[in-house]
Amino acid sequence: MSDIQHMRLSGHAGTFPLTPEAHSLLVSYVTSSREQLADTLDADETVRDLEGALGDRLHALLGASEKAIDDRQMTEIIRDLGHVEPFSAQPARSGGGTWTRIDEGKWFGGVCVGLAVRGHLRLDWVRTIGVFLMLLTGGLIGIVYLGLWAFLPRVGAVNEYEQRTRTAHPAF
């Protein structure tokens, strides 16, 4: 058993015994995950979390056993954790969708729902700010609201808006 390799993972004090094939799979998985996350702000933290999750799985699988993890077991663990993708592969948090009004959950016209969904904001906050601005501007923001209601295209539901946004921006 001299070909057993021991690997230390973030968040775990001990090392994990691995066969050379399992070691190669693990190193490849962590390396490709790090490359996928290279352009994200929290890449190092995410990789540490990933290593911690891998270590938790390995620890549970080993238990009190001193037997090395083989490639079949490592493949199963990696398959369970899945492929790592950067958050930017999801729709952008800064908005980027089209300006629209949405009927689902609307109170009056759906403009606030559209603003909340586009900006990834809580609907109750958008409505609260709208009412506050209405009072602060003496009703002027109400005219802006009516203009948005009149000119923004209407969408029936949030999931329909998100589907249109993904179709219009396939890079997301």
pLDDT tens per residue, range 13-54: 888 888 899 889 888 888 888 888 777 767 788 888 888 888
| 147 occurs within a structural domain | yes
Number of domains in the chain: 2
| 95 occurs within a structural domain | no
Check: CB of residue 46 under 8 Å from CB of residue 26.
no
CA triple 74-78-80, angle to 5 deg: 115
Residue after which a domain boundary falls, among 29, 55, 89: 89
The residue ranking higher by pLDDT, 1 or 77, is: 77
| 94 occurs within a structural domain | no
Which pLDDT band, with edges at 50, 70 and 90, does 93 fall under?
very low
Average confidence (pLDDT) over 88-94: 42
Say yes or no: 111 and 158 in one domain. yes
Say yes or no: 54 and 106 in one domain. no
Highest mean pLDDT (candidates 92-106, 126-140, 145-159) = 126-140
Say yes or no: 36 and 78 in one domain. yes
Say yes or no: 9 and 32 in one domain. yes
Q: What is the pLDDT of residue 91?
A: 44
Check: CB of residue 34 under 8 Å from CB of residue 43.
yes
Say yes or no: 54 and 109 in one domain. no
Say yes or no: 64 and 10 in one domain. yes
The phi and psi torsions of 154 (rounded to 5 degrees) equal: -100, 135
Highest mean pLDDT (candidates 61-65, 97-101, 134-138, 161-165) = 134-138
Say yes or no: 82 and 117 in one domain. no
Model pTM greater than 0.85?
Answer: no
Say yes or no: 107 and 83 in one domain. no
Q: Looking at 2-11, 90-99, 117-126, 142-151, which range is the least confident one?
A: 90-99
- Tell me the C-alpha distance between 33 and 142, whole Å: 49
- Tell me the C-alpha distance between 119 and 96, whole Å: 8
Domain with 15, as residue range(s), is 5-89
